[in-house]
Amino acid sequence: MNRKSPTNLPSSRHSSTKQVKGKVGRVARASANETPANLEAIVAQLLKVLGEDPKRNGLEETPKRVAKALTFFTKGYQEDVDALVNDALFPIEYDEMVIVRNIDFFSLCEHHLLPFFGKCHVGYIPDKRVVGLSKIPRIVEVFSRRLQVQERLTVQIAETLQAKLKPIGVGVVIEARHLCMMMRGVEKQNTLAVTSHMLGAFRKQQQTRDEFLKLIRSGSQNSE
């Protein structure tokens, strides 16, 4: 692959990047192994406000179940990305593209607390060190298991790999379906949202960018 001919590509990602620099580690809160009693009480109160009786048959255990589920759905706040990645960096003389594609993920939209889910594709060009392949889906999992918007999630994954690996380039593409669009609002069930964040050679070199996009597209077509 020829990496020598940079092509200037327009970008409007600077504001998104500023949101995540220096904030890729753990966010403090209650343990993911605990179900806060006050969260159960909040769910019970929510059921009352909606016109239900949280003590009726069928709903008696619902506050506990919902509190436990929400704690699991947001367990990424308890994950330390630095600890996750730092023990899996390996020196190697390799400078061709590494791609992990079709990473399934589930997240909660921070605007309506409704799920969005889909596939994440990650690629990078190493500069004398690589990260264990299993760590890339783990990074996706850490950030997706928080209250999110798809745009920020895309940036956080790319910026984390850039900060930890210092590679020649990083590319992240996310394709997702949002229940806040499918169940409410415009109610469009077949709408797919696509976001990307490119750094280094993936942003500066059109040939590198095109190669990455071609490889993840061919993978998506083959999996159908």
205 is catalytic: no
B/e letters for 25-39, b = 16+ CB within 10 Å, e = fewer, are eeeeeeeeeebeeeb
Q: Which of 183, 118, 182, 189 is nearest to 148 (CA)?
A: 118
150 is catalytic: yes
Query: How far are the Cα atoms of 92, 122, 170 from residue 128, in angstroms, in the given order?
Result: 5, 18, 14
109 is catalytic: yes
111 is catalytic: yes
Per annotation, catalytic residue among 52, 112, 151, 206: 112
Per annotation, catalytic residue among 78, 148, 150, 162: 150
Per annotation, catalytic residue among 78, 79, 109, 141: 109
Per annotation, catalytic residue among 121, 141, 162, 178: 178
Per annotation, catalytic residue among 60, 61, 111, 189: 111
Per annotation, catalytic residue among 19, 34, 110, 189: 110
Per annotation, catalytic residue among 52, 151, 175, 180: 180
110 is catalytic: yes
Q: Which of 186, 190, 164 is nearest to 175 (CA)?
A: 190
d(CA 47, CA 67) in angstroms, rounded, equals 13
178 is catalytic: yes
Q: Catalytic amino acids? A: 109-112, 150, 178, 180
